[in-house]
């Protein structure tokens, strides 16, 4: 999946959701550790970043802003965030607007002072929001994350973990969440395990993160995943756990394996780089093609391109040079430059691709705008044929659980029943999507424990949003009013 370079109108693909990190480590520079962990999780959200810290028994300090981690924080700001505990977040706006007020961590000080970082979407946000407003609870944002924070901040329970255990069963949807008070961290995960959350250890202290790559960068070791419906409490006494909800149908997002998680992260015992390589091998088995060269759309298609080359015997090379210094920016190019905007990120090499029958490997296609440009760029560089091979099935349905995809009508597979129709629309000589069975074979998992609704249209949760909320999810609108 190739990200957009400018504004959301040019976006071609699902946007990553959010990344969370929390650590209890007196004697460590927790703000700096959080900074590096968020840097490792930057791929999960490039819209805003924030860190909250506190000393044991002190007040919570929060610094958050729009932009990348490296844009929001510098040496002076990190030094202004001392403490024993820290909470970090990187964000995309899957619900609520991209305004500063919706950046995280969320801070509340009702019955108790807390900061909260959340990855996912609540599908009963409006119901809970209305209930809290009737109780006189005010809101400063349009994010469903503040609803969780308000439920916990206003809860009368003396212990935060007791409040979480009471609130968690009332939440519907996806919520891998970390909450911090001046005394402890509490991490919890929705009973369907839709979004990832892992537990790690640095020295004798504990931390939690969206992915294991965040633990690697700070020298922490991965202990295990936070279990579905589990509440993990980390404080001066170490760690304790309880199960708030058990026995729900597991529905971990299979798209994490295909694209969202970093290739060096480990999920369910699988290193994703290896799983994505197997996807490429299975693509070659499912859709053999006579070609001269395999190339990847960097970097998302690189592991699968290697696998395709291994299995097919077709040599692989780099067909594009990627500018690795391009990231989302608040400086928007003019209309003339936007026409050529993709070249800011990818530049094809005619010396490699000219006269060649190419297999072009990528992980997914949603709207198709970027893919169409890539095909044309390769033809302009002299490619003889362009055969697209994609390591995910066709995306035909929106996600209500924390991934920002286009509307169903904008998806290139909508209304096109065959791969031949889609290939023609993209200007490619052929197109093949990896089958859903192939995806699960590659990752060593089954549909019984995962969510693949964006491909299949089969939503695993008993509760789904009402029509008004579905419209908000699909069009990126706030679910609630501040």
- Residues known to be catalytic: 18
Phi and psi at residue 186, to the nearest 5° = -130, 125
- Residue 225, strand partner residues: 198
What is the full DSSP assignment across 135-199? TT---S-S-HHHHHHHHHHS---SSHHHHHHHHGGG--B--EEEEE-SS-EEEE--TT--S--EE
User: How far does the chain reach from its first CA to its final CA, in angstroms?
Assistant: 33
- Which pair of tokens denotes residue 423? 């290939």
Q: Is 241 helix (H, G, I), strand (E, B) or coil?
A: strand
- What distance in Å separates the CA atoms of residue 8 and residue 27, rounded to the nearest whole number? 42
d(CA 128, CA 132): 6
Q: What is the spatial distance between Cα 205 and Cα 95, in angstroms, rounded to a whole number?
A: 33
Burial code (b: 16+ CB inside 10 Å, e: under 16) for 61-74 equals: bbbbebbbbebbbe
- Which SS3 state, helix, strand or coil, does residue 106 take? strand
Cα distance between residue 206 and residue 439, in whole Å: 33
- Strand 450-451 with 252-253, pairing: parallel
Is the torsion defined by CA of 129, 135, 141, 147 positive or negative?
Answer: negative
Residue 100: Cβ within 10 Å count: 11
Phi, psi of 221 (to 5 degrees): -105, 145
Distance CA 471, CA 477 (A): 8
- Distance (Å, whole) CA 465 – CA 271: 33
b/e 359-385 (16+ beta carbons within 10 angstroms → b): bbbbbbbbbbbbbbbbbebbbebebeb
Distance CA 18, CA 68 (A): 12
208 DSSP 8-state letter: E
Contact partners, residue 177, CB within 8 Å, separation at least 6: 20, 116, 117, 118, 119, 120, 148, 187, 188, 189
């Amino acid at each position: 999946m190739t990200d957009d370079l400018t504004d959301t109108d040019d976006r071609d693909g699902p946007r990553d959701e959010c990344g969370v990190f929390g650590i209890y480590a007196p004697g460590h520079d927790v703000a700096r550790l959080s900074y590096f962990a968020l840097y490792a999780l930057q791929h999960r959200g490039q819209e805003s970043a924030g860190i909250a810290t506190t000393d044991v028994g002190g007040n919570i300090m929060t610094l958050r802003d729009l932009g990348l981690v490296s844009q929001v924080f510098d040496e002076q700001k990190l030094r202004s965030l001392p403490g024993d505990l820290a909470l970090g977040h990187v964000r995309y706006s899957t619900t609520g607007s991209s305004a500063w007020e919706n950046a995280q961590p969320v801070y509340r000080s009702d019955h108790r002072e807390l900061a909260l970082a959340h990855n996912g979407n609540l599908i009963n946000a409006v119901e809970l929001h209305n209930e809290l407003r009737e109780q006189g609870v005010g809101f400063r944002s349009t994010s469903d994350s503040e609803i969780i924070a308000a439920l916990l901040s206003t809860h009368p329970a003396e212990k935060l973990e007791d409040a979480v255990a009471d609130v968690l069963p009332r939440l519907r949807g996806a919520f891998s969440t970390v909450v911090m008070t001046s005394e402890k961290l509490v991490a919890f995960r929705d009973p369907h395990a839709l979004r990832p959350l892992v537990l790690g250890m640095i020295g004798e202290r504990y931390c939690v993160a969206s992915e294991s790559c965040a633990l690697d960068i700070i020298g922490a070791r991965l202990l295990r995943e936070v279990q579905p419906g589990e509440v993990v409490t980390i404080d001066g006494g170490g760690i304790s756990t309880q199960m708030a909800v058990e026995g729900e149908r597991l529905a971990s997002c299979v798209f994490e394996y295909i694209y969202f998680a970093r290739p060096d992260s480990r999920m369910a015992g699988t290193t994703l780089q290896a799983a994505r390589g197997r996807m490429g091998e299975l693509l070659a088995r499912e859709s053999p093609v006579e070609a001269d060269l395999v190339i990847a759309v960097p970097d998302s298609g690189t592991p699968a391109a290697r696998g395709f080359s291994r299995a097919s015997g077709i040599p692989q090379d780099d067909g594009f040079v990627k500018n690795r210094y391009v990231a989302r920016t608040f400086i928007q190019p003019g209309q003339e430059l936007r026409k050529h905007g993709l070249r800011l990120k990818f530049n094809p090499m005619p010396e490699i691709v000219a006269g060649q029958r190419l297999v072009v490997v990528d992980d997914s296609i949603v709207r198709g705008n970027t893919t169409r440009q890539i095909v044309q760029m390769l033809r302009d560089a002299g490619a003889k044929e362009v055969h697209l091979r994609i390591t995910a099935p066709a995306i035909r349905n929106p996600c209500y659980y924390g991934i920002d995809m286009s509307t169903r009508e904008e998806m290139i597979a909508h209304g096109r029943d065959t791969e031949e129709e889609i290939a023609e629309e993209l200007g490619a000589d052929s197109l093949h999507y990896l089958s859903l069975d192939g995806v699960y074979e590659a990752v060593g998992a089954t549909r019984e424990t995962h969510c693949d609704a964006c491909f299949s249209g089969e939503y695993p949760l008993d509760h789904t949003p009402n029509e008004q909320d579905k419209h908000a999810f699909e069009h990126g609108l706030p679910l609630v009013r501040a």
